[in-house]
Amino acid sequence: MLLVPKCIIDDLHSKMSRTWWTSNEKTRGWAMMKWERMCYPNGMEGMGFRDMKLFNLALLGRQVWRLMQFKDTLCFRVLSSKYFPEGDILCSKSCDKPSYTWSSIVKATEFFKEGFVWLVGDGNTIDIPRDQWGFEGLNGDSIQRYKLHVNERKVRDL
């Protein structure tokens, strides 16, 4: 799954809208509703069209979820060996020329990070200085200002 460029999505939206509002290809129709409004569900006074940008992000989000959940797949093994050797897709290393597939997955991951929540459990997976804590101004850098002992790296160590 790839992140479709904005110009292609805009062109698709334009063609879908033109098809809806015109009777033939030679005339220019009169749009009676903005495209954003057409994407609202029928129950919210829209027409139920699908917003292609959000749909594309949803498909990429599913791929991110699969990479987080199914670590025994060939896709996970190939991508993790090059882009996130520690096995955590949220902590990928930067490389000079990433593939377009990986760049798309990273953009989707950044988009969805705001909606992620912590499941602390036993605290083995949460790295104090590296992970974002979900609050503005509270991240690993601000926590390191306070004196953490050398052996306090994971939440389980606190």
Tens digits of residue pLDDT in 65-120: 899 899 999 989 998 888 988 888 877 778 888 888 888 988 888 888 777 766 77
Own/partner contacts of 117-124, CB < 8 Å, gap of 24 or more, are: 120/155, 122/156, 123/154, 123/155, 123/156, 123/157, 123/158, 124/154, 124/156
Task: Spell out the domain ranges in the chain.
Answer: 56-112, 117-157
pTM here?
Answer: 0.65
Tens digits of residue pLDDT in 4-29: 888 998 888 777 777 666 666 666 66
